[in-house]
Amino acid sequence: MSGVGRVALVVEDEPSVLDFVVTLLGETGWRVDVASGGREGFESVRRNSYDLIVSDMRMPDGDGEEFYRTVLRHDRKLARRFIFITGDTATNEAWSFLEGTETPLLEKPFSPHSFEDAVHRVLSATLSHATS
């Protein structure tokens, strides 16, 4: 699914993962903003409109769950626009949170195909929700 005319926010503190995700999105036409942690990511959400938000679960400046909850307090519609990335075995609480969000989750390392599939699922859900 083309990203031309769409804007994504990638919230990730690991440079290699950040570069990988930004490259994948850029190859399909997305304009991409980046943030290294949850607080910086939320400031971007307050200033801009996003079609997709890709967030790591563990970051030094606000974890993925805190970031997600803060964003939803700002704009509930963004709940369907998230993809989470995790690089380790999450706690039971984190897994419960992730299952409750019904958002795509990618475990590092992930393939380009897995990422593209997650983006497609988010865009499809967003489009079907907008037309219903």
The structure's pTM equals 0.93
The count of C-alpha atoms lying within 13 angstroms of the C-alpha of 32, restricted to the half-sphere facing its C-beta, is 21
Which CATH number fits the domain 7-131, given the four candidates 3.40.50.2300, 3.40.50.300, 3.40.50.1110, 1.20.1440.230?
3.40.50.2300
Whole-angstrom Cα distance, residue 75 to residue 125?
17
Q: In the block, which residue shows the tokens 């999450």?
A: 90
For the chain, what are the domain ranges?
7-131
* pLDDT given for residue 89 in this prediction: 54
Cβ atoms 7, 33 nearer than 8 A: yes
**pLDDT per residue as tens digits for the range 57-92:** 988 788 899 999 999 999 999 999 999 998 865 677
39-59 burial code (b ≥16 CB/10 A, e <16): ebbbebbeeeebbbbbbbbeb
